[in-house]
Amino acid sequence: MKLLTSLSRLLAVATLGLGLVHAAHAADASAPDLLIRQLSLETIEAVKADKDIQAGNVSKIIALVDTKVMPYINFQRMTSSAVGRFWRQATPEQQGRLQSEFKTLLVRTYAGALTQVKDQTIGLKPLRAQPTDTEVVVKTEIRGKGDPIQLDYRLEKGGDGWKIYDVNVLGIWLADQYRNSFAQEIGANGIDGLIKSLADKNAKAAGSAAAAKG
């Protein structure tokens, strides 16, 4: 039961990490904690102001993610980390498809999670890093009813500022979370098998979401 609790809370806010970023117009990516602070604040404001997002309008959320989030996420690194050692065996075309299906999977989760965001506030923990660090962890938590939901980000410093490359919900790093599942699928059915099973999951969920609406 305890795990169910954590998992469902993971879902409830899951990938909020990715989504947190969606409202940022021109967030300041010059410092990692500054970036997360701005993205967090703007997300809370945006979610509270937008009834469509609260209702879980997937296409609207995907559009937001594409325009606002992606500039601050190194999604290739996130995907390659989840795929692990098999990443280098994949063709560029397979890599592209893996990336887009994995993104859809996470955004889809996020769309569902956003409908549950109500009275929460966000707590930011002090950055414990050296100024010279090029990879840091910024820790936050979603505070509402019950235990605060841990939400941490791994960021890397690149030429064009800091970028997020992994998200931790409730002690679970999402790229790590999928590594064994992906390896298992690749072991059984190859890289194309993994792409297919991700695509099937996404198509099935899209279908049931449409059915629920209609």
- Catalog residues that contact other proteins under the rule CB under 8 A: 1-12, 14, 28, 31, 33-34, 37-38, 40-42, 44-45, 48, 105, 108-109, 112, 121-126, 128, 139, 141, 143, 145-148, 150, 152, 170-173, 176-182, 184-185, 197-198, 201, 204-205
**Residue with Cβ nearer other proteins (31 or 70):** 31
Beta carbon of residue 42, minimum distance to other proteins (angstroms, whole number): 6
Nearest to 171 by CA among 205, 202, 198, 148: 148
Q: What is the dihedral of CA 127, 128, 133, 138, to 10 degrees?
A: -40
Question: Can you name the residues that pair with 157 across neighbouring β-strands?
Answer: 162
d(C-alpha 214, C-alpha 211), whole Å: 5
SS3 158: strand
**Residue with Cβ nearer other proteins (92 or 146):** 146
Beta carbon of residue 176, minimum distance to other proteins (angstroms, whole number): 6
Residue type, 131: P
**Residue with Cβ nearer other proteins (99 or 177):** 177
Beta carbon of residue 180, minimum distance to other proteins (angstroms, whole number): 5
**Residue with Cβ nearer other proteins (40 or 80):** 40
Beta carbon of residue 66, minimum distance to other proteins (angstroms, whole number): 20
Tokens 């930011």 label which residue? 124
**Residue with Cβ nearer other proteins (74 or 101):** 101
**Residue with Cβ nearer other proteins (71 or 123):** 123
Token pair recorded at residue 148: 């605060």
Beta carbon of residue 154, minimum distance to other proteins (angstroms, whole number): 13
d(C-alpha 47, C-alpha 115), whole Å: 9
Beta carbon of residue 23, minimum distance to other proteins (angstroms, whole number): 9
Which of the 8 DSSP states describes residue 28?
Answer: -
DSSP assignment of 39-100 equals: HHHHHHHHHHH-HHHHTT-HHHHHHHIIIIIGGGB-HHHHHHHHHGGGGGGS-HHHHHHHHH
